[in-house]
Amino acid sequence: MKNDQQNLVSRPPVVVIMGHIDHGKSTLLDYIRKTNIVASEAGGITQHVGAYQVEHISSDGVKHPITFLDTPGHEAFCNIRERGAKAADIAILIVSAEDGVKPQTIEALHNILEQKIPYIVAITKIDKMNANIERTKQSLGENEIYVEGWGGNIPSVAISSVTGQGIPELLDLLTLQAELEELKTDPKLRASGTVIESTLDNRKGISATLLLNDGTMQIGTFVVAGGTYAPIRFIENFKGEQIETATASMPVVVLGWTAVPPCGTEFEIVATKKLAEKAIDEYETKKRNAKGTKKSTVDDRPGAARDPKSALTNATDDTPKVVILPLVLKADVIGSLEGVKFELAKMKHDRVTIKIVSEGIGDINENDLKSAQGDPDIIILGFNAEPDKKAMALSERAATPIQIKNFKIIYELSQFVRDTLMSKIPKEYIEEVTGKAKIIAVFSRDKDRQVIGGKVQEGELETGASVKIVRREVEIGRGFIRELQQQKKRVTEVREGFEFGSLVDSRFEIAPGDKIEVVRMVEKK
């Protein structure tokens, strides 16, 4: 169905807040909403996308609803930020007055520019002692972000989420920008929009946070996203309150999906279950056709590039053995799982690799433990995902201990996996020469025992050391030093420049003019 121009009405703007980690995105929302959302995030770092709606009362007393999307700044959650920018009408680019432009600031800007949405720069933390607004604007200019007053036309406002300074002006700028954008919706249409986040709860089942782009959502209909659907028995707003109707720009939660809806997928509303199943059949058919087309483009000629996994399987005997670190991944929501996989993908080594045995969202359950029971090396890695009661019981009964690790902060998880990966790298040893000596005389030989005399040219000789016997720069055999004497006294070592006598065990006959080299095995760095 298309929008009827006669039915169009204004809708609230959807605003995405983006920027570098710890530059004050969540603190800004905290001030606007008057709730403490920062405390609910582990380590004070946003690791999920949040969708909230507030009412801003402008100076003329008019109420302006605004929907905010809070996105994580950590590098791992790039996919979530991309979804946030795609779903938004306006962006706020957060930059700290203490730090200026940082790597994720630039990445956030690229996401905004790709979606071609207008944005406002908010310079945060102006209440801090090290804050310097002009220096921050200079940093913005150096990165081709030209704000008003510094050679550009991008609106900017300096704010403090502690004192509230500048925040009313920021909200006024947002409402003004929304008016310029002329955001419209047709409330008579069935709702459509984007899946922002998905999660699996053992008690409630599969739920998804949806952002309505257009139309109206009502109880009694069905919502379809990709290859899954859910009957709309009730609708939850962002506060967790049940509502009967949702309109454009509202973030809502719908439960009871047949499968986890992919994040970033567009959804539509249909009237009946039969229409929902038909939409899914059409989606699956398109998906199969797309896969078939993709397969036909693969080059099967000899020597053509193949999948790295295939190359590993078909490796020759000369290829160094690669040790595998198997992982079972569980996370609370799809976005978190994406973030974990992004971090793991960065960990590469030519001697050890990560293999994801299985992955999913929700609590760690019996199936996850059963996946790990067959291999003691498998680690079950949870991100905000604890073992449920059945999994805990199975873990306690297991004959072989099952490794279960759960983390609430992404960089702590990354560090654990990195350390585990490094500990599994096979150790390589090389020979190191620690001393060289020239043989001057051979005094006696009794079977494999030879009494020799010589002078240390480099390093030192030690009792019990292994030696290479070298003649005309070619190794002719090996032995070890049983005894050392210096000035007719028994010693344990002889250093460079001194003469010595030695009892050497070797089945290779040593002759005057030969050299012996002391060697030891050391771990290759």
- Rounded to whole angstroms, how far apart are CA atoms 109 and 23? 14
Looking at residue 307, what is its pLDDT?
38
- Rounded to whole angstroms, how far apart are CA atoms 186 and 212? 12
Looking at residue 392, what is its pLDDT?
81
Q: Are the CB atoms for 72 and 107 separated by under 8 Å?
A: no
* Full DSSP string of 100-136: BS-HHHHHHHHHHHHHT--EEEEEE-TTSTT--HHHH
- Rounded to whole angstroms, how far apart are CA atoms 166 and 57? 15
Mapped onto helix, strand or coil, the DSSP state of residue 412 is helix
Helix axes 389-397, 366-373, angle to 10 degrees: 30
Residue pLDDT tens, the chain, 525 long: 555 677 789 899 988 888 876 667 778 887 887 643 334 444 433 333 467 888 888 777 788 888 887 655 334 334 544 555 677 899 999 998 888 888 878 888 888 888 888 999 999 989 888 889 999 999 998 888 898 888 888 999 999 988 889 988 999 999 999 899 889 999 999 999 888 887 777 677 888 888 898 999 999 999 999 899 999 998 988 878 888 899 998 888 899 999 888 877 889 999 999 999 999 999 888 888 877 655 433 333 333 333 333 333 333 344 456 778 888 888 877 777 877 887 788 777 777 888 888 888 788 888 888 777 777 788 888 888 888 888 788 877 777 778 888 888 777 888 888 888 888 877 777 888 999 999 999 999 988 899 999 999 999 999 999 999 999 999 999 999 999 999 889 999 999 999 999 999 999 999 999 999 999 888 776
Domains and CATH numbers, the chain: 5-184 (3.40.50.300), 192-279 (2.40.30.10), 320-423 (3.40.50.10050), 429-523 (2.40.30.10)
DSSP-assigned beta bridge partners for residue 468: 478, 517
Looking at residue 518, what is its pLDDT?
92
Provide the token pair at 81: 């930020």
Q: What is the value of pTM for the model shown?
A: 0.60
Q: Which amino acid belongs to residue 163?
A: T
Mapped onto helix, strand or coil, the DSSP state of residue 44 is helix
